[in-house]
């Protein structure tokens, strides 16, 4: 572990020295003591940077009428002070899935339960036909998707 942040009484955000992030959950409502003490993994993601500090908060102001303002946020500091800015074709020739797969000495698994804001923001750079294709697969309009992605981008 390189850093940990308590998000609430039962949910914890962690980083480790293989440049991965993870979220774990403690089931305080479990029937047995063993169930109440066990930590379950909710999400795992490869960040590609060494996180050495978490803090509750955001780097941007949240508007009171914004849906995004209701999302709890945490920020992190890294050894080199930055994160990937855009991942379109993947890093180092790897696919996005390979790059974001949680990977340490014991296991490698696909990332789960993390939203990659950098990847989501690339939607704004797509041409209209690709946006329409994505909108169809998600049963929504391009305008609605565009608005949501812009709102998420303002959370940075």
- In this structure, the answer to whether residues 70 and 109 fall within a common structural domain is yes
Is pTM beyond 0.75? Reply is: no
Tokens 């509750």 found at: 56
| Surface-to-core class of residue 102, CB atoms within 10 Å of its CB (0-12 exposed, 13-18 middle, 19+ buried) | buried
User: In this predicted model, what pLDDT tens digit does every residue of 51-80 receive, in sequence order?
Assistant: 988 888 775 655 666 655 556 678 887 765
- In this structure, the answer to whether residues 122 and 107 fall within a common structural domain is no
Q: In a 3-state reduction of DSSP, which class is residue 50?
A: coil
User: In this predicted model, what pLDDT tens digit does every residue of 24-58 receive, in sequence order?
Assistant: 999 999 999 999 999 999 999 988 888 988 888 77
- Residue 146's nearest CA partner among 69, 24, 127 is 127
Task: Find the domain containing 67 and state its range.
Answer: 3-83+101-113
Question: Pairing state of beta strands 102-103 and 74-78?
Answer: unpaired
Do the domain assignments include residue 53? yes
């Amino acid at each position: 572990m390189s850093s940990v942040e308590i998000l609430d009484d039962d949910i914890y955000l962690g980083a480790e020295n293989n440049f991965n992030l993870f979220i774990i959950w403690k089931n305080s409502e479990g029937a047995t003591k063993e169930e109440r003490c066990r930590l379950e993994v909710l999400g795992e993601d490869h960040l590609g940077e060494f996180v050495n500090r978490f803090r509750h908060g955001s780097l941007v102001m949240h508007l009171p009428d914004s849906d995004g303002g209701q999302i709890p946020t945490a920020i992190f500091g890294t050894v080199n002070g930055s994160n990937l800015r855009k991942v379109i074709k993947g890093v180092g020739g790897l696919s996005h899935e390979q790059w974001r797969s949680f990977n340490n000495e014991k296991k490698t698994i696909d990332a789960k339960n993390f939203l990659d804001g950098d990847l989501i923001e690339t939607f704004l750079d797509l041409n209209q036909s690709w946006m329409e294709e994505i909108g169809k697969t998600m049963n929504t309009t391009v305008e609605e998707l565009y608005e949501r992605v812009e709102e998420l981008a303002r959370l940075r």
